[in-house]
């Protein structure tokens, strides 16, 4: 006897199985969106099946399998970004330490100058010069932090929009499923045989 292959189980493998390739964050987001969209479409297909729950269970399992490499890639990117931030922080610390050492060396060298020349420099009017390097670095760092804050705010907004869109698709799928089940119940009631009517009672012979 040949095994029975359910057509919707083959469809699940085709619809939800995607290549597990780790790309950029934008590519992974697009890949994740396609997986979720196809999952919602398959959930609507499952709503038309007789074995709805088995179909939905397999669709969810296949979606989780398709999302697994994307989640792994996201964790790897996050680890690399943390390492890069730590390295950048270390470079800034070392640069500041080198700057402090240089400035201290300049002060030590200035302390060796003759008292008269040192006094003349102290009492000379200060020339108008551009802001020191420290102020420029602080301005650059502030601009970088503002840019990062704007990017983070935009990322949060996009994530909320994607979440709301997913919730709407899920609500539509549930409504569609309920409508299908209601139609099935109505058809079943229409097909039910009418109750047999009682036979007439024969009148007694006169």
Give the residue-averaged pLDDT of 148-159.
89
Give the residue-averaged pLDDT of 95-106.
89
From the centroid of its chain, how far is CA 19?
18
Average pLDDT across the chain, whole number: 79
pLDDT of amino acid 159: 87
Residue-by-residue DSSP string for 83-137:
HHHHHHHHHHHHHHHHHHHHHHHHHHHHHTS-HHHHHHHHHSPPP--PPPHHHHH
Between the two ends of the chain, the Cα-to-Cα distance in Å is 68
**Domain ranges, ordered by start, for the chain:** 1-77
Q: What dihedral do alpha carbons 63, 66, 68, 70 form, nearest 10°?
A: -120
| 31: number of Cβ within 10 Å | 21
6, pLDDT greater than 70: no
- Any idea what DSSP says for residue 1? -
The SS3 assignment for 193 reads coil
pLDDT band at 98 (very low <50, low <70, confident <90, very high): very high
From the centroid of its chain, how far is CA 200?
73
């Amino acid at each position: 006897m040949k095994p029975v292959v359910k057509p919707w189980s083959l469809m699940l493998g085709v619809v939800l199985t995607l290549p597990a390739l780790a790309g950029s964050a934008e590519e992974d987001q697009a890949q994740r969106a396609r997986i979720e969209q196809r999952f919602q479409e398959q959930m609507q297909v499952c709503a038309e099946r007789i074995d709805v729950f088995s179909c939905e269970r397999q669709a969810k399992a296949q979606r989780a399998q398709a999302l697994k490499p994307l989640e792994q890639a996201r964790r790897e990117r996050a680890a690399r970004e943390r390492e890069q931030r730590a390295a950048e922080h270390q470079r800034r610390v070392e640069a500041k330490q080198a700057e402090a050492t240089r400035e201290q060396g300049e002060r030590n060298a200035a302390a060796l100058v003759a008292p008269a020349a040192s006094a003349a420099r102290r009492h000379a009017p200060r020339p108008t010069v551009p802001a020191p390097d420290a102020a420029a670095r602080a301005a650059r760092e502030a601009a970088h932090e503002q840019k990062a804050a704007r990017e983070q705010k935009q990322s949060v907004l996009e994530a909320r929009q994607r979440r709301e869109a997913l919730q709407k698709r899920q609500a539509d799928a549930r409504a569609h499923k309920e409508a299908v089940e209601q139609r099935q119940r109505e058809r079943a009631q229409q097909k039910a045989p009418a109750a047999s009517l009682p036979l007439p009672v024969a009148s007694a012979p006169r």
